[in-house]
């Protein structure tokens, strides 16, 4: 089976995410066609969707300007999976704690942008994630923390006592960058071990 994957290509790590999706698909004997999402009209064709990191203010502005925001909401309403990483999680949250970010209200959490510090404070940590047998090598880059978890969200991993991976229905959000290692288990967890609604 071939899965159509959309990667929001406003900023950041599109090729790395495409690679990770393809590796995760292959491990289930599936193929993935990866489409870059820069304009409206692409998301409705996608089975799965990736919202990468970057700068959350810029990403949210572009999604709203291009009308992609409504398409992403419809994708989730239809029960289709999304993986939102770092700035992508900020955009997907219900509250970014920053009025410059127009959130998509997909993940019932309040985030704190840059709460782990500035660029110099980027770090890698082995993270125990619910659903994974071995720790996941997690790269944090000017990462947000999840300050508050609402009743609809479930914490999948915490670092230093703070939640850094969550699930809300078909949406998985991580404050770290799972595309920056050769380990595709987070993409696998979000996309291939979540029931996918038929297109
Ligand atoms: N600091 C960025 C923001 O707040 C997120 C960083 C990232 O995606 N690596 O939007």
86 is catalytic: yes
* Residue in 75, 86, 124, 134 annotated catalytic: 86
Geometric angle at alpha carbon 164, from 16 and 44, rounded to 5°: 50
Q: How remote is the CA of residue 173 from the centroid of ligand 1, in Å?
A: 13
pLDDT tens digit sequence for 119-177: 557 899 999 999 999 999 999 999 999 999 999 999 999 998 999 999 999 999 999 99
Q: Which residue in the block uniquely carries the two structure tokens 């996941």?
A: 136
Give the residue whose CA is nearest to atom 8 of ligand 1: 53
Quote the pTM value.
0.95
Share above pLDDT 70 across residues of the chain, in percent, rounded to a whole number = 95
In angstroms, what is the span from residue 197 Cα to ligand 1's centroid? Answer: 30
Q: CA gyration radius for the chain?
A: 15
28 CA → ligand 1 middle, Å: 31
17, 71, 179, 187: the active-site residue: 179
> Phi and psi at residue 2, in whole multiples of 5°?
-110, 125
Kindly indicate whether the domain formed by 2-191 is annotated with CATH number 3.40.640.10. Answer: no
Location of structure tokens 């071939």: 2
| Cα(183)–Cα(6) distance, integer angstroms | 20
Domain ranges across the chain: 2-191
Structure tokens belonging to residue 73: 């909401």
Residue 72's nearest CA partner among 110, 38, 44, 108 is 44
Q: What are phi and psi of 13, to 5 degrees?
A: 55, 35
Asked if 46 is an active-site residue, the reply is no
Ligand 1: does its nearest atom lie under 6 Å from the Cβ of 87? Answer: yes
Mutate to test the pocket of ligand 1, among 144, 164, 173, 176 (most ligand atoms within 8 A of CB): 144
Read off the pLDDT of residues 83-132 as tens digits, 9 standing for 90 and up.
999 999 999 999 999 999 999 999 999 999 988 766 557 899 999 999 99
Give 11: exposed, middle or buried? Use CB within 10 Å, 0-12, 13-18, 19+: middle
Q: Where are the alpha helices (DSSP H) in 10-86?
A: 14-26, 56-66, 68-77
Active site residue 66: no
Q: For residue 140, how far is its CA from the centre of ligand 1 (angstroms)?
A: 10
99, 177, 187, 195: which one is catalytic? 177
Confidence grade of residue 195 (pLDDT, cut at 50, 70, 90)? low
């Amino acid at each position: 089976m071939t899965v159509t994957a959309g990667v929001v290509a406003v900023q950041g790590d599109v090729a790395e995410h495409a690679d990770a999706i393809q590796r995760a698909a292959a491990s289930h004997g599936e193929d993935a066609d990866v489409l870059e999402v820069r304009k409206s009209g692409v998301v409705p064709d996608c089975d799965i969707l990736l919202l990468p990191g970057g700068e959350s203010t810029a990403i949210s502005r572009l999604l709203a300007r291009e009308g992609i925001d409504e398409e992403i909401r419809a994708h989730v309403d239809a029960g289709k999976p999304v993986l939102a990483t770092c700035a992508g999680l900020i955009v997907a949250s219900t509250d970014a704690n920053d009025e410059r970010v127009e959130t998509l209200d997909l993940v019932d959490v309040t985030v704190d942008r840059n709460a782990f510090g500035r660029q110099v404070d980027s770090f890698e940590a082995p993270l125990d994630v619910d659903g994974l047998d071995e720790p996941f090598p997690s790269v944090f880059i000017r990462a947000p923390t999840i300050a508050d978890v609402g009743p609809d969200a479930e914490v999948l991993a915490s670092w230093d006592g703070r939640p850094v991976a969550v699930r809300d229905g078909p949406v998985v959000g991580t404050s770290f960058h799972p595309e920056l290692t050769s380990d595709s288990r987070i993409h696998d967890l979000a996309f291939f071990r979540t029931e996918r609604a038929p297109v």
